[in-house]
C-alpha cells in the first residue's frame, strides 16, 4: 500500500485532541429517537475520520477511506447493525463538536479524560492500549526517561496534549518544544530542530516508515494507557452497544488482528511493533 507522504504526516496523530465545551444546546438530543434508531432509519453508521494512520487512511488515488483500524472496526459495527459505513471527515479538534451537532455517531481513538467526559460519553470497555514512545535520533540514548531528562535533549510534543503533560512532569530538565499538532512536532524532528518527538507508539511507526529516519523507543518505565471512542451524551442504548462491541473484539483478539492487518499492508512487520492489547505489552 502506498500513502501520500504529506497526507500521512498531516494526520499522524492520536491523543492530542482539543476538548470541546459541553453542548449548550439540545440539537443532538432533539433528533427523533436515540442514536441506534437514527442509524437504522438512515441506513448508515457515521464515523469521524481524519488522515491518521494506523487509525484512518485515505487512498490518495481513489479518495476512499479504505484502510486503518478505525475503518475495520467501523465496518464491523455497521455490519452488526445491518447498515453501511459512512465516513465523515473531521479534524481531531472538531470531532467532539461534530458529535454534539449530530454530524457523526462515534469518534474512535479519543482517550477518555475527565475534561472530555464533560462534553461526551465513553464506553466502559477500552478500545485498545498503547505505549508512550519516542522517535529519536539514532545516536540518542533513550532506553529510560531519565536518559532524556537533560537540558541538551530537545523533545518535541504537541502542545497541551497528554504527551506534553507527561514529559513536562517526567523530564523537567529537558528542553521541551511544544507545537500545535503532531505533524508540526514530527516536522521539527525531521528538520533536526528536535532530538526526539514523543507520541504514542502506533503513529510513530508510520512516521518512522514515512520519514525513513530515527529509532522508535518505548523508554522505561513504560507508560501505557487505554484509548476509547467518544459518543453523544446520555444515550445508554448506543453506549451499551459500543461497550459490548469493544469488549467482544478485544477479548477475541480481533482488535490486535485489525491493527496488525494495517501494519502489514503499510509494509511494517507486526512482530517488530508493540501490540495494542495490554496483556501483550
Indicate if 242 and 259 belong to the same structural domain.
yes
Indicate if 232 and 123 belong to the same structural domain.
yes
Domain encompassing residue 203: 129-224
DSSP secondary structure string, 16-79? -PPPPPPPSS-TTTTSSS-HHHHHHHHTEEEEEE-SBTTTBEE-TTT--EEESHHHHHHHHHHH
Indicate if 17 and 107 belong to the same structural domain.
yes
Q: What CATH number has the domain bearing residue 143?
A: 3.40.190.10
CA distance linking residue 182 with residue 200, whole number of Å: 11
pLDDT at 32: 58
Indicate if 44 and 108 belong to the same structural domain.
yes
CA distance linking residue 121 with residue 116, whole number of Å: 8
**What are 135's three cell numbers?**
522517535
pTM for the predicted model, two decimal places: 0.78
pLDDT at 19: 47
pLDDT at 141: 97
Indicate if 139 and 121 belong to the same structural domain.
no
pLDDT at 47: 98
Indicate if 150 and 118 belong to the same structural domain.
no
Indicate if 35 and 166 belong to the same structural domain.
no
Indicate if 39 and 86 belong to the same structural domain.
yes
- The SS3 of residue 177 is strand
Any domain includes 278: no
CA distance linking residue 229 with residue 243, whole number of Å: 10
Domain count, the chain: 2
Indicate if 79 and 176 belong to the same structural domain.
no
Any domain includes 76: yes
Indicate if 46 and 102 belong to the same structural domain.
yes
CA distance linking residue 140 with residue 37, whole number of Å: 54
Any domain includes 73: yes
Any domain includes 276: no
Mean pLDDT by runs of 10 across the 281 residues of the chain is: 46 46 44 87 96 87 95 98 97 90 96 91 96 95 97 92 88 95 89 96 88 93 92 97 98 97 90 85 72
Amino acid at each position: 500500500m502506498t500513502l501520500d507522504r504529506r497526507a500521512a504526516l498531516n494526520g499522524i496523530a492520536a491523543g492530542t485532541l482539543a476538548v470541546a465545551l459541553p453542548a449548550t444546546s439540545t440539537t443532538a438530543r432533539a433528533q427523533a429517537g436515540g442514536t441506534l434508531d437514527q442509524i437504522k432509519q438512515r441506513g448508515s453508521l457515521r464515523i469521524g475520520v481524519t488522515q491518521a494512520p494506523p487509525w484512518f487512511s485515505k487512498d490518495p488515488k481513489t479518495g476512499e477511506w479504505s484502510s486503518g483500524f478505525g475503518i475495520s472496526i467501523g465496518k464491523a459495527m455497521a455490519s452488526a447493525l445491518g447498515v453501511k459505513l459512512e465516513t465523515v471527515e473531521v479534524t481531531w479538534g472538531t470531532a467532539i463538536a461534530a458529535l454534539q451537532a449530530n454530524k457523526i455517531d462515534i469518534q474512535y481513538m479519543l482517550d477518555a479524560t475527565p475534561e472530555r467526559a464533560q462534553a461526551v460519553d465513553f464506553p466502559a470497555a477500552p478500545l485498545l492500549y498503547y505505549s508512550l514512545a519516542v522517535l529519536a535520533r539514532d545516536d540518542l540514548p533513550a532506553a529510560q526517561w531519565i536518559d532524556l531528562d537533560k537540558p541538551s535533549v530537545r523533545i518535541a510534543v504537541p502542545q497541551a496534549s497528554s504527551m506534553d503533560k507527561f514529559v513536562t512532569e517526567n523530564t523537567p530538565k529537558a528542553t521541551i518544544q511544544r507545537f500545535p499538532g503532531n505533524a508540526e512536532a514530527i516536522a521539527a524532528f525531521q528538520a533536526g530542530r528536535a532530538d526526539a518527538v514523543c507520541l504514542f507508539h502506533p503513529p510513530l511507526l508510520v512516521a518512522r516508515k514515512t520519514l525513513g529516519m530515527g529509532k522508535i523507543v518505548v523508554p522505561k518505565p513504560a507508560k501505557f494507557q487505554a484509548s476509547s471512542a467518544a459518543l453523544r451524551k446520555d444515550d445508554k442504548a448506543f453506549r451499551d452497544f459500543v461497550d459490548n462491541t469493544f469488549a467482544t473484539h478485544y477479548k477475541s483478539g480481533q482488535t490486535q488482528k485489525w491493527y496488525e492487518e494495517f501494519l502489514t499492508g503499510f509494509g511494517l512487520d507486526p512482530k517488530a511493533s508493540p501490540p495494542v492489547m495490554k496483556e501483550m505489552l
